[in-house]
Chains A and B, each alone.
Chain A
Amino acid sequence: MGGSSPCASCKLLRRRCTKDCIFAPFFPSDDPHRFAIVHKVFGASNISKMLQELPVHQREDAVRSLVYEADARMRDPVYGCVGAISYLQNKVSELQMQLAVAQAEILCIPMQQEPSATDQQMDPDDEPFLMQNNLNGMPQLMNYGSSSNVAQEPLKRESLWT
């Protein structure tokens, strides 16, 4: 603590950077822009509360996702991250339609039973699982003017940033 420089958050907030500063591990002093955008969008106190509620090993991922969301919000003040989600949802819908068309086309092809063709038949296990594996409860963002479509299951997985 004797000669170490304060973290980016304490520099911006103009306060003393203590040893147990919660922001110091995630906002080094060499990248002040990172904390600036997060502070502008979420606020330092809200970030502090969010990080305190999380276990220590998940805080790094949380900070990265917050920085990503804040950056998206700065680039697009209207839609933010939701714009990318809407774009990806449209892509998923398009691909599902194309897949449905391709599968219908396969069914239309007359399957002529030959000994050489039996090795190349579709396995019954290779069912198009994605036709059934839709995101249940995912709000349709094409009409996200309504405020009631907010059903979503919590996602638990390993770190996305590895």
Chain B
Amino acid sequence: MILYMYRRQRLEKIRKRKRKRREKRSSARQRSWRILQNLHEIQLLDIQQSIEDPIQPIMSSSNSNVSSNDSNPRRCAACRYLRRRCAGDCILSPYFPASNPQRFACVHKIFGASNVTRMLQQLPVQQRAQAADAISMEAYWRVQDPVYGSVGIINLLQHEIYMNQHELARTQAQIAMYTAQQQHQQQQQEAPASQPVEASNINPQQQDLLAPDRTFLDLSHFPDSF
């Protein structure tokens, strides 16, 4: 009787082990089946998007690598960066193509994807391209110069304008002086008995030309804090 009980216990243990192994195998099969299903869905998505966008070449299924997020050429740079599915009505895809990932990387770092999306949504469609370009440039300049960004560019340009104005005023004053000298010389030649003229006198009008004119630097629609 005791032997019978012992054998029965051993058999039950063996059966339990077999059940556990069967369950492990079945769960592994289910996992692999789910992965295959996901693969199939993603391939279907690729095919659908390629149908919608016939300009892009269709990738073969053997080349598609699901584990890598950069393998899907149909996604825009924004969706690829954010690791999400690129919908057909993605607002960012026309302005951040997959060929230039750095453009969106800068924009995302400075403004953030949600802010950019909101800004573009608030604009009419015909102005979004220019807005996206302007935002990209501002983000790029901010990445290059984290302290001043595009304000540094503005300051540089204003300085150059001031120097150009100064140089132009000086050149125009010299032109005025030379022409005045020529006129005096012509008058002397015509009237040799005239009194000697001091060539070093500069008219008050010529002196005004030396002062640079800053009146056109009218950035009044920008804040005074700059």
Interface residues, chain A, CB within 8 Å of chain B? 40-43, 45-46, 50, 53-54, 58, 61-62, 64-69, 71-73, 75, 77-85, 88-89, 91-92, 95-96, 98-99, 102-103, 105-106, 109-112, 114, 116-117, 119-120, 122, 126, 128, 130, 133, 135, 138-139, 141, 144-148, 150, 152-155, 157, 160
Q: How many residues of B contact A (CB 8 A)?
A: 66
Tell whether A92 pairs with B222 under 8 Å between CB atoms, given A65-B148, A68-B151, A109-B178.
no
**Complexed CA–CA distance, A83 and B222 (Å):** 11
Chain B residues with CB below 8 A from A92, complex form: 157, 160-161, 164
B152 to chain A, nearest CB (A): 4
Find the B residue at minimum CB distance from A120. B177
Q: Which of A65, A67, A99 contacts B168 (CB 8 A)?
A: A99
Chain B residues with CB below 8 A from A78, complex form: 123, 127, 130-131, 134
Interface residues, chain B, CB within 8 Å of chain A? 100, 103, 109-112, 114-115, 119, 122-123, 127, 129-131, 133-138, 140-142, 144-158, 160-161, 163-165, 167-168, 170-172, 174-175, 177-179, 181-182, 185, 199-200, 216, 219, 221-223, 225-226
Is B167 within 8 A of A147, CB to CB?
A: no
**Complexed CA–CA distance, A156 and B90 (Å):** 38
Is B150 within 8 A of A160, CB to CB?
A: no
**Complexed CA–CA distance, A41 and B150 (Å):** 15
B101 to chain A, nearest CB (A): 12
Q: Which of B103, B140, B152, B164 contacts A95 (CB 8 A)?
A: B164
Chain B residues with CB below 8 A from A155, complex form: 144-145, 148, 152-153, 156
Chain A residues with CB below 8 A from B182, complex form: 109-110, 112
Chain B residues with CB below 8 A from A43, complex form: 111-112, 114-115
A140 to chain B, nearest CB (A): 12
Q: Which of B111, B140, B164 contacts A130 (CB 8 A)?
A: B164
